[in-house]
Amino acid sequence: MRVGVLLGLALLGLVSVASGSKKVVCYYGAWSMYRPGAGKFDVENIDPFVCTHLIYSFVGLETWGGIRVMDPWQDLVEDWGRGGYQRFNNLKKVNPQLKTIVAIGGWNEGSENYSKTFRDPLKIASFVKESVAFLLKHGFDGLDLDWEYPNQRGGEPIDIESFSNLLKALRTEFDKYGFLLTGAVAAAEMSFSLSYDVPKLAQYMDFINIMAYDFHGAWENVTGHNAPINIAAVEAGTKFEGFSADASIKAWIRYGAPPEKLVMGVGLYGRAFTLSSSGCTGPRCPVKGAGNAGPFSREAGMLGYNEICSTERNDASAVKVWDEEAQVPYMVFGNNQWVGYDDEQSAALKVEYIKANNLGGAMVWSIDTDDFSGACGKGTFPLLNVLKRGLISGSTGTTPAPTTTSAPATTAAPTTTTAPATTTTAPVTTAGPGITANPPTAAPSSTTVSSEIPSTYECRFVGYNRDPERCDVFYQCYISKGEYKFSKFTCTAGLLFDLTKNTCNYAAAVDC
């Protein structure tokens, strides 16, 4: 429904504004307007009544403490631009209860510049001033910090204190204007415990968006769910046992976050794999690599829900399976394609989880990959409307009964209690002319998983470490039970690990 039509209906009193105590926070990837065909999603495709908060993604950081506009032609009105910021904030004229926020950071922005900038009190002061000016100029109601991640990816331990200092300074100034201060943060304890002083985040942020997705993906060598509520039994006792929405939320609360400030992420997309064999098609089955790219997202290993539901509806080979342990579905199709994702049933279960645990609401990445056109026959924004009915309007109705196979397909039996080596690396997505964009994600650019981990390697610090002998090999180092642990990765052919960007890059651009 177009904004102009909605505005007319609202003025006539024919469109109601939902209200309630929970939030439905929707990230919008502005580069989605560059997608081809029916996947193109522009500001005017946003339904301003399906979310309580809309977050425009992303702006970048200038190292002197300023804000960088990522795509001036798309974002600004100057020089005959499309005025994305202005059109986005005009949605509040349609729904006056809507709040709009702009996000800074994202995976592709990295961490190193944020680490260097925000350890300097003068640059923090500059950033606070610039942020206020930016919000006032463009009409946003707040700022969302998506620094991925303090004390990781080239950052240092001082980042934890720097981030807290940044939040305090922003909070002090934002209170003068009534601005919101939020953030997108890592979900799993293994990651967030390295990055945040959780009580300080809870003190200064209005709400905290937990990125409870990207728990598994094609950076691993076996299939796994993108955003499970619970882990599968085969993951118990491995490093993956904390990779679920339930484990993440409980860990955040255990570290001192008030439940009502936690907004649980729900992925409106899935992570896809190419299976190694048709004889093993369940969770934890061997894979050859990333799943085939979809026609709209055009990113290997990632499919929007609009692409997934279209496959389910139109591909005769598609078999959808409900995983009773993880409480999410997966689908096998095209002989060797596997995708784990959220559907209406799992979204409804996540609504019940949010309500049962007194959380602040749900966050989605991202509104532009829901079935916004209704092409799958379930109405427009089917996943978001499940969240809206349950969290804004106050009732989910009856949780949808599974319409899929209830028993999982053959699953590889675990032979060890130690998880296989995995990457935390997602492909970089070209979002439009001259820009790249990726969602808030637990995962950096294309690699392959190494089959063996040398026992002699010694981590130098938490985060990404390049091999001292081979520039195409790097390690993700983390601390578990007081000791360094690591996973080993190899860049795809022709690429080397770039220490300045913490990602694989063309060999000519890397100092090896």
CA 83 to chain centre: 25
**Ordered alpha helix ranges (H), 315-465:** 344-356, 382-387
The answer to whether 148 is a known catalytic residue is yes
**Ordered alpha helix ranges (H), 25-120:** 72-75, 84-89, 91-94, 112-118
Q: How far apart are CA 211 and CA 346, in angstroms?
A: 16
Q: Which helix (H) or strand (E) holds 160?
A: helix 158-174
Delimit the domains of the chain by residue range.
Answer: 23-268+341-392, 445-509
What are the pLDDT digits (tens) for 138-187?
999 999 999 999 999 999 999 999 999 999 999 999 999 999 999 999 99
**Pick the catalytic residue: 109, 148, 235, 312?**
148
Q: How far apart are CA 175 and CA 132, in angstroms?
A: 11
The closest of 255, 187, 254 to 216, measured between CA atoms, is 187
Average pLDDT estimate for 200-217: 98
Most confident of 15-24, 155-164, 410-419: 155-164
Residue 273 is which amino acid? F
CATH class of 23-268+341-392: alpha beta
The dihedral through the CA atoms of 170, 171, 175, 180 has a sign that is positive
Q: Give the three-state DSSP class for 360.
A: coil
What is the CATH T-level fold of the domain 445-509, as seen in this structure?
A: Antimicrobial Protein, Tachycitin; Chain A (2.170.140)
What's the confidence (pLDDT) of residue 507?
A: 82
Cβ–Cβ under 8 Å, residues 39 and 304: yes
The token duo for 452 is 């063996």
Burial letters 43-57, b for 16+ CB under 10 A, else e: bebbbbbbbbbbbbb
For residue 218, is pLDDT > 80?
yes
The closest of 249, 186, 232, 173 to 478, measured between CA atoms, is 186
Backbone angles phi, psi at 97, to 5 degrees: -85, -10
For residue 425, is pLDDT > 80?
no
Strands 207-211, 180-186: pairing kind = parallel
What's the confidence (pLDDT) of residue 395?
A: 46
Residue 102's alpha-carbon distances to 11, 86, 123, 139, 387, in angstroms, are 27, 12, 20, 10, 22
The dihedral through the CA atoms of 121, 125, 126, 131 has a sign that is positive
Q: Give the three-state DSSP class for 38.
A: helix
**Which of 237-251, 324-338, 374-388, 455-469 is least confident?**
455-469
What's the confidence (pLDDT) of residue 424?
A: 32
What are the pLDDT digits (tens) for 244-292?
999 999 999 999 999 999 999 999 999 999 999 999 999 999 999 999 9
**Which of 60-69, 361-370, 429-438 is least confident?**
429-438
On the question of a cis peptide bond just before residue 366, with omega within 30 degrees of 0, the verdict is: yes
Q: How confident is the model at residue 440 (pLDDT cuts 50, 70, 90)?
A: very low
For residue 456, is pLDDT > 80?
no
What are the pLDDT digits (tens) for 90-111?
999 999 999 999 999 999 999 9
Most confident of 73-77, 422-426, 492-496: 73-77
